Amino acid sequence: MPFRYKVLPDHRLLFGVFHGTLTPDEYLNGIEELSRNQAFEPDYDRLGILHDDLDLSLFGLKELHAIRDRMSTAYYGNHRPADTEKRSYRIALVSKPSINETMLKLYAATLASSLVPTVSMKIFPKLDKALGWLERDELAAQFAEPDWVAFMAFDARSG
Tens of each residue's pLDDT in the chain, 159 residues: 689 999 999 999 999 999 999 999 999 999 999 999 999 998 899 999 999 899 999 998 899 889 888 888 888 776 665 554 555 788 999 998 777 777 777 777 777 666 555 678 888 999 999 999 999 999 999 999 999 999 999 654 444
Helical packing angle, 61-76 and 100-114, nearest 10°: 50
CB of 80 closer than 8 Å to CB of 68? no
pLDDT at 82: 57
pLDDT at 101: 76
Cα dihedral 88/24/2/121 (nearest 10): -30
Enumerate helices (H) and strands (E) in the chain, giving the number of each.
6, 5
CB of 67 closer than 8 Å to CB of 75? no
pLDDT at 156: 44
pLDDT at 78: 62
pLDDT at 120: 81
